[in-house]
């Protein structure tokens, strides 16, 4: 429990963690948003491979370069991280807020590369089909291959890498991603290209899961969701800038050049992680059996179910947004990039706002966003024929991504000491949401209800996610001691 004596009113006394980490020294944090820091040392910091043993307040503020907005968001005092959870302080490394900034940038760079590589191919599928002598629908199977790689790779890699340090795991995952994209650019036939896209998707979920754990371990407890949001910002920026730019140059030069560019981003990420992320050791007691323990916790399954259903609505709408724009709203083809940009802006806004709200009230943010999702999806279905209201609806649909950082952080809480598997599986759940949303959206369209009806599908999936949320909340309250 936290020391709550009058002498440490503004201090966060990390005396014990949930998993036997030794008693640590008291440290002082800056105030955030006007309220005082209080609480207890959390397992997300302990099991992420670092021991936040000492955080010292500084009398003077050093002027450091970097993005002022991000530096303000990461306005923690200098951090001393020990290399393991063994209880020793050997090899302690002092971190300034600018060094934390560099680590976040490195991790977000990987998210940017993964997001760009996943979505950019949608812009030049016909070119891929022409190169390999297959139709565009057949070429589209490579998108499914990548998604399957994400779903399969996340839990398997998390288990196989249970005894691998976080830093080495991130380096390996991004190296595989970079190599897969570069080899995809030189694939001689469609079958090899298909296999390479599957293999390239394998590191996706594990990378985001481990990156989120590392980012959360480097900041105070009350800033975990924001740190996760900054890492995921790489993915959301990719939907706004990386994907259209890569698709443009892919069409202008060659789709093979586009994959080489994505591979270069992956290589850059490897270099940044190598330079800026400190070395760490495997957490004490880490094993495959301990990671599998996550799946014995009902709250882990419920949180993953919330992600798979609650986000299904967003994908139900987004998967068919192009024909909705042209056939329902009657807008020209030239407006599709604008609509996609609005969706990307909405994702970035939702990610920023949602991560801040999650640090204030985690479950409150998840429940509120699911309820808002229902209203937003209904608004989309009812206003899709109006070009102006459609633009607003698409922006708001993008904003529904606000629950993403909250769900990732929630998994850190409920997974206890099996966080790697749970965090990685979150992105498997997102891809299941993609498949569910697109599948049910396609069913209502094929049934003759029109493209706007995907909004009703999205609302229904959001309601289902809300039901799962209330079940999770009820179980949590019932399990609390009287």
- Residue from 128, 159, 114, 130 nearest 430 by CA: 114
| CA angle, residues 201, 254, 183, in degrees to nearest 5 | 35
Mean pLDDT of 184-190: 91
Q: Whole-model pTM?
A: 0.70
Mean pLDDT (the chain) is 76
287-482 maps to which CATH number? 1.20.1250.20
- With a cut of 50, say whether residue 38 has pLDDT above it: no
CATH architecture of structural domain 62-286: Up-down Bundle (1.20)
**What is the pLDDT, as a whole number, of residue 378?**
94
* CATH 1.20.1250.20 boundaries in the chain: 62-286, 287-482
Sheet holding 93-95, edge to edge: 51-55, 79-82, 93-95
Other C-beta atoms within 10 Å of 137: how many?
Answer: 9
Sequence-separated (6 or more) residues with CB below 8 Å from residue 30: 57, 75, 76, 77
- With a cut of 70, say whether residue 61 has pLDDT above it: no
**What is the pLDDT, as a whole number, of residue 287?**
57
Instruction: Report in angstroms the alpha-carbon separations of 123 from 119, 139, 246, 262.
Output: 8, 12, 9, 14
**What is the pLDDT, as a whole number, of residue 87?**
32
* Residue 207 C-beta-side C-alpha neighbours within 13 Å: 34
DSSP 386-433: SHHHHHHHHHHHHHGGGHHHHHHHHHHHHTTT-HHHHHHHHHHHHHHH
Q: Are 42 and 18 spatial neighbours (Cβ–Cβ below 8 Å)? A: yes
b/e sequence 323-354, b meaning 16+ C-beta within 10 Å: ebbbebbebeeebbeebbbbbbbbbbbbbbbb
- Confidence tier at 333 by pLDDT (50, 70, 90): confident
- With a cut of 60, say whether residue 165 has pLDDT above it: yes
Q: Which of 13-17, 186-190, 402-406 has the highest mean pLDDT?
A: 186-190
Q: Which of 62-66, 80-84, 128-132 has the highest mean pLDDT?
A: 128-132
């Amino acid at each position: 429990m936290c020391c709550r004596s009058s002498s440490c009113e503004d201090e966060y006394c990390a005396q014990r963690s949930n998993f036997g980490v030794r008693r640590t020294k008291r440290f002082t944090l800056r105030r955030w948003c006007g309220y005082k820091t209080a609480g207890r040392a959390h397992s997300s910091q302990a099991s992420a491979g670092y021991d936040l043993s000492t955080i010292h307040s500084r009398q003077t503020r050093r002027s450091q370069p970097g993005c002022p907005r991000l530096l303000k968001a990461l306005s923690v005092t200098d951090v001393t991280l020990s290399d393991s959870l063994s209880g020793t302080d050997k090899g302690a490394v002092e971190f300034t807020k600018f060094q934390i900034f560099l680590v976040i940038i490195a991790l977000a760079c990987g998210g940017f590369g993964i997001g760009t590589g996943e979505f950019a191919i949608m812009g030049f599928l016909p070119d891929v089909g022409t190169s390999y002598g297959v139709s565009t629908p057949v070429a589209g199977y490579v998108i499914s291959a990548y998604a399957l790689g994400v779903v399969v790779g996340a839990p398997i890699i998390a288990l196989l890498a249970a005894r691998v340090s976080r830093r080495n795991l991130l380096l390996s995952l991004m190296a595989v991603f970079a190599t897969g994209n570069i080899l995809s650019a030189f694939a001689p036939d469609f079958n090899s290209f298909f296999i390479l896209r599957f293999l390239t998707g394998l590191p996706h979920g594990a990378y985001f899961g481990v990156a989120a754990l590392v980012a959360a371990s480097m900041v105070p407890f009350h800033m975990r969701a924001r740190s996760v949001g900054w890492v995921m910002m790489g993915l959301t920026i990719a939907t706004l800038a990386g994907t259209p730019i890569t698709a443009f140059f892919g069409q202008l030069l060659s789709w093979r050049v586009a994959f080489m560019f994505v591979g270069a981003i992956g290589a850059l990420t490897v270099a940044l992680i190598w330079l800026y992320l400190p070395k760490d050791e495997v957490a004490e007691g880490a094993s495959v059996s301990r990671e599998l323990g996550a799946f014995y916790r009902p709250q882990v399954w419920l949180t993953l179910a919330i992600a798979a259903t609650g986000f299904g609505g967003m994908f139900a709408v987004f998967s068919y947004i192009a024909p909705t724009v042209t056939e329902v709203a009657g807008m020209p083809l030239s407006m599709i990039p604008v609509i996609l940009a609005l969706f990307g802006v909405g994702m970035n806004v939702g990610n920023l706002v949602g991560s801040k709200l999650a640090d204030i009230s985690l479950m409150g943010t998840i429940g509120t966003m699911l309820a808002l999702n229902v209203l937003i999806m209904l608004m989309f279905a009812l206003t899709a024929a109006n070009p102006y209201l459609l633009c607003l609806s698409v922006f708001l649909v993008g904003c529904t991504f606000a629950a993403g950082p909250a769900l990732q952080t929630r998994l850190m809480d409920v997974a206890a000491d099996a966080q790697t598997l749970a965090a990685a599986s979150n992105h498997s759940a997102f891809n299941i949401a993609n498949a569910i949303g697109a599948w049910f959206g396609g069913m209502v369209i094929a049934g003759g209800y029109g493209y706007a009806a995907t909004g009703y599908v999205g609302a229904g999936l959001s309601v289902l996610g809300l039901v799962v949320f209330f079940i999770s909340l009820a179980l949590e309250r019932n399990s609390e001691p009287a």
